[in-house]
Every structure is written in C-alpha cells, then in structure tokens.
Amino acid sequence: MSLVGTRIKPFTAQAYRDGNFVTVSDSDVIGKWAVFFFYPADFTFVCPTELEDLADNSQTFREMDVEIYSVSTDTHFSHAAWHDTSPAIGKIDFTMIGDPAGVITNNFDVMREGQGLADRGTFVVDPDGVIQLIEITSEGVGRNAMELLRKVKAAQYIAAHPGEVCPAKWEEGDTTLAPSLDLVGKI
C-alpha cells in the first residue's frame, strides 16, 4: 500500500543539529513543508555524497519554507561524530535524526527486513503532515538534490493552485495543465 496521501505517524526522536542534541517529534513537522531523507548508515560511501548534495542546496530549501530531516538507524551520537570528522557531512546544517529503534524508519516503511538499515527513501510532507511524494532507490543509486527541489516546487505549486497539474519535466514558471475533457487524447 502506498503512503502517498497518508498522514505521518507519531514519533519522538533524538537528533543532531547545529552542534546540539535536540528532540524532534511529528508535531515539529506540522505547519511547514518537510523532506524526510532516509539513508542506510553513517560512515559509508554513497550516503555522504547524497547528504553533501542536500547540504549544498539546503539554503534553497529553507527559502521555500522546507525543513530537511535526514534519518538513519544510527544514533544522534554517531551523527555528531560523523559531522565532526567528515568534510562532506560537516556542511550539514539541517536536522540529522537518530532512529536506532527503527520507529520512524518503520513508520515510513523503508526498513530493510532483518538488517536494521533504512532504504534510500525520500518523502515530501506537506504542512498538514500528509505525504505528497515518495522516492525509493536501490543501495547503489544516489539521489539528486536538484531533482528533489524540482519535485518539491511542483508539489508546492499544485497545493497552491487546485485544479492544475505539473507535466513531466515541469520547472518553476513553465506552463501547467488543467485536466479536463478538452485535453483527453490531445496531449
């Protein structure tokens, strides 16, 4: 069953952000757009390239009123150590959630059975806490922050413009579509 269109489940977790340990819960997500960016583990190979790419674009997400939460089944202590020792991870200025019990990872249905690790899963959540977009990739396929930005912009656009949809390769400012009988068979 797809989680698109469902509300995020309750959680409370410890996280690392801006040199501090903080508590994060589902109630912190309500009221703004959010990206939950799951990855398998700290101190690995593809993960730091993805997180660095996200960090390099985090200001643009913030300007769009989007909060980023990276999540792995590591602890918040591991996140702090990784942040302090890796030049790529040291760029991160968003919240790094530790989920060693797997509550959040299981809530979003990205736990690898029998491994205790998360799949590479990206979830865009609207200000009401409803999941609007899901992307899951295999172990060796890294994600692209620019493509995620494009998708978030599209999700925000259609939320603000009911009755319109964004076609393939839509970029901010491009023409949208208004689904109607007039378009059937003409695209």
Active-site residue numbers? 47
Q: Are 96 and 61 in contact (CB under 8 A)?
A: no
Look up tokens 């208004």; give the residue.
178
Alpha-carbon distance of 50 to 60, in angstroms, equals 16
| Vertex 64: Cα angle to 180 and 173 (nearest 5) | 40
Which of 65, 73, 61, 54 has the alpha carbon at shortest distance from 13? Answer: 73
Alpha-carbon distance of 59 to 142, in angstroms, equals 21
Q: Annotate 80-117 with DSSP letters as a single string.
A: HHHHHH-TTGGG--SEEEE-TT-HHHHHTT-EETTTTE
